[in-house]
């Protein structure tokens, strides 16, 4: 197997999903054979996505729809990482103002951070398809009067059937500009979500391999933590972008299936 060429030996995989496991509604590779291959090679796998608009249970259902059954503990997203960061600051929880989709609000509520529009401990921002001037104004007021500013992921755009749509990063930039405050960001390439994934894998950074299709999130985030990297060319990265990136990823393959022996 290609990953056996890495030393020290890889024990855990941190797997991006969009552009790695599927593109839109189409799987990139034979997913049941891929996950059987991970199991056969005794590789622990955690899936980690910057996308906070879908909840962990929605990803578990999506994988089940592709014939792969996994427990929810095998998926982390930037919403879970936000909850983890907030718990460190506010161990007993507290009200938060949320600019984001229902999946983000659900994870916050479960973690002890119910939605509110006043007397909040933090403003949490992510992708919100109903973002508005009124929401921007309220977030600005709350941050300027002392609420902590936390954000899910910095992605400026995300792929859409008609091109690129504005992502969480575009909304965060608006709030940041208004409030003159930089957020603490949970998703890749920042460390919070990647550290959560590593903790669940239970292995050292050098024994983990992050597999992703984006250089400035998946690969950069892993490189900063000393995690080994595999770039797959099944998503958004072009050959020219790869050539310009230093240091190069440890491995580059057409798809995730080329890393291991499928079963
Ligand atoms: Mg991706």
Q: Which pLDDT tens digit goes with each residue over 224-246?
A: 999 999 999 999 899 999 999 99
CA of 95 relative to ligand 1 center, distance in Å: 31
Cα torsion angle, 193, 135, 55, 120, sign: positive
Predicted confidence at residue 204, as pLDDT, reads 95
Q: In angstroms, rounded to a whole number, what is the distance separating the alpha carbons of residues 123 and 99?
A: 8
Q: List residues bridging with 97 in a β-sheet.
A: 123
CA of 234 relative to ligand 1 center, distance in Å: 9
Output the furthest CA–CA distance in the chain (Å, rounded): 56
CA of 147 relative to ligand 1 center, distance in Å: 31
Residue 125 banded pLDDT, cuts 50, 70, 90? very high
> Looking at the predicted structure, is the pLDDT value of residue 187 above 80?
yes
The predicted model gives 37-43 an average pLDDT of: 96
Predicted confidence at residue 164, as pLDDT, reads 86
- Give the residue numbers marked as catalytic: 16, 18
Q: What angle do CA 103, 123, 148 make, to 5 degrees?
A: 135
Q: List residues bridging with 160 in a β-sheet.
A: 163
Residue 251 vs residues 153, 207, 256: alpha-carbon distances, Å: 25, 14, 11
Predicted confidence at residue 89, as pLDDT, reads 96
Residue 25 banded pLDDT, cuts 50, 70, 90? confident
> Looking at the predicted structure, is the pLDDT value of residue 159 above 80?
no
Q: For the chain, give the percent of residues with pLDDT over 90.
A: 93
pTM of structure: 0.92
Sheet of strand 148-151, all strands in order from the earlier edge strand to the far edge: 96-99, 122-125, 148-151, 184-185
CA of 5 relative to ligand 1 center, distance in Å: 24
């Amino acid at each position: 197997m290609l990953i056996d060429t890495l030393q020290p030996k890889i024990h855990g995989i941190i797997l991006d999903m969009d552009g790695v496991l599927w593109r839109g509604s189409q799987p990139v590779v034979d997913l049941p054979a891929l996950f059987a291959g991970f199991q056969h090679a005794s590789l622990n796998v955690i899936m980690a996505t910057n996308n906070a608009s879908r909840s962990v249970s929605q990803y578990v259902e999506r994988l089940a729809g592709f014939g792969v059954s996994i427990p929810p503990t095998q998926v982390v997203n930037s919403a879970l990482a936000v909850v983890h960061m907030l718990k460190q600051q506010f161990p007993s929880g507290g009200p938060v103002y949320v600019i984001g989709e229902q999946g983000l609000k659900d994870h916050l509520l479960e973690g002890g951070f119910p939605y509110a529009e006043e007397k909040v401990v933090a403003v949490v921002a992510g992708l919100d398809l109903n973002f508005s001037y009124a929401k921007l104004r309220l977030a600005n007021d709350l941050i300027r009067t002392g609420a902590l500013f936390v954000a899910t992921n910095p992605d400026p755009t995300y792929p859409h059937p008609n091109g690129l749509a504005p992502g969480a990063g575009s909304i965060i930039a608006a709030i940041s500009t208004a409030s003159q405050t930089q957020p603490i960001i949970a998703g890749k390439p920042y460390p919070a979500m990647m550290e959560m994934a590593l903790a669940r894998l239970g292995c050292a950074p050098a024994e983990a391999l992050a597999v992703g299709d984006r250089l400035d999130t998946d690969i950069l985030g892993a490189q900063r933590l000393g995690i080994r990297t595999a770039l797959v060319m099944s998503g958004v990265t072009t050959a020219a972008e790869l050539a310009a990136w230093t240091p190069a990823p440890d491995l580059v393959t057409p798809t995730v299936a080329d890393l291991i022996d499928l079963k």
